[in-house]
Structures are given as C-alpha cells and as structure tokens.
Amino acid sequence: QFADIDYNSLGGDRNYSRKKPARKEKITIGASDVDKNIPESKISNDRTFAVVIANENYDLVSSVPMALNDGRIFSLYCQKTLGMPENNVRLYEDATYGTMLHALKDIQSISEAYHGDINVIFYYSGHGFPDEGTKNAYLLPVDGDGIHTDVSYSLDRLYSELNTLNAKSVCVFLDACFSGTKREGDMLV
C-alpha cells in the first residue's frame, strides 16, 4: 500500500551537461502499514528507557536508506505500544562517535539515579562492520569510515557497558550488517 511513484522524477533532466554535478534526490514512495497503524496500549512503563540510534547519512561511506525512518517508527512503538513516556525514549539521529558515547553515558546516569531498577531497550539502525584482523564487530558512527576501529563503537564495549547498568532487563535490537557490505549488496568501503 505504497503511494504511486512519480516516474518523471526518476529520469532526471534529459538536457544535462557533463559539467553539471550529479543531483541527489530523495524520492518518497509512501509508508508501510506498520509505519501508520501503530497499536496503542494503556499500559505505563515509566521505568523503561530506550536508547534509539538511527544512522542514515554518513560522511565518508554510503548512506543506509530508511534508517532514520526505522528509528523514528521504533521510537513511536516504544511510546504508543510499550507505554513509555516520551522523555524515556532517547532518539539519536545520525549519531557521531561522540554522540554515541553520550547516549551510553546518559543511560548509565539514568540507571544510577534509579539504582538499576529500570528496564532498558537499545536499538541501532545503521552500518556495522567487522575488523578482519580481530573478527570483532563494530557499529559505525556517521563520522566513521568503516576502517578505523578506534572511532567506532565495538559490540563488545556496547554489551559490557549495558551489562554494567545492573538494570532489571536489557533488550538489544541491531539492524546492521557486519559483513562489510551495504544493504544493496556492494561493499561498504
């Protein structure tokens, strides 16, 4: 149930010159049913917190189409379906390495304030990549390049930091490929 595609916008300008830079256009084709018909519940989960990182627009590697939409919709599900207050859902769009560090420090502070008496949901949508030498997996911030692991967030570090929260429960959702390829199948770097 997607909206009709405007095929004229796909063809581009037929009177182009090779000297003109290529245009980048976003085309919206509609919304999925799961994006529109979000179930609502009357429950209240004021002791559940979500860290939602949605990385779509990268500086040095290709984008991840629909990652921002995925993060926004997941945030709405947390609020409407799981009954989390809006302030309990922390959405970080196109997060840099520094922003990702901040996001984890923020949830650590919240857990300390509640003495671990919270539930945590961690959601990530964006690029992941492997370190071929160590076989470790990394989440790629939007200012990362998919090569340098020292400015990327390792899954080992993520799981370690989530474990130190001493929360009642932690649920992790990762929408990332760790093969070194993009959603379209070609190589990330």
Give per-10-residue mean pLDDT for the chain (189 aa).
Answer: 60 50 57 84 96 97 94 98 98 98 98 97 96 90 93 96 96 86 52
Q: Starting at the earlier edge strand, list the strands of the sheet with 137-139.
A: 128-130, 137-139, 153-154
Question: Beta strand 137-139 with 128-130: parallel, antiparallel or unpaired?
Answer: antiparallel
Structure tokens, 131: 């370190």
Q: How far apart are CA 57 and CA 1, in angstroms?
A: 26
The answer to whether residues 125 and 54 touch, using CB atoms and an 8 Å cutoff, is yes
CA angle 89, 140, 76 (to 5 degrees): 20
- pLDDT of 54: 98
Contacts 24+ apart (CB under 8 A), 103-109: 103/51, 103/53, 104/51, 104/158, 104/161, 106/51, 107/49, 107/51, 107/165, 108/161, 108/164, 108/165
Structure tokens, 101: 């560090």
- pLDDT of 16: 45
Other beta carbons within 10 angstroms of residue 14's beta carbon come to 5
CA angle 51, 55, 60 (to 5 degrees): 145
pTM of this structure: 0.80
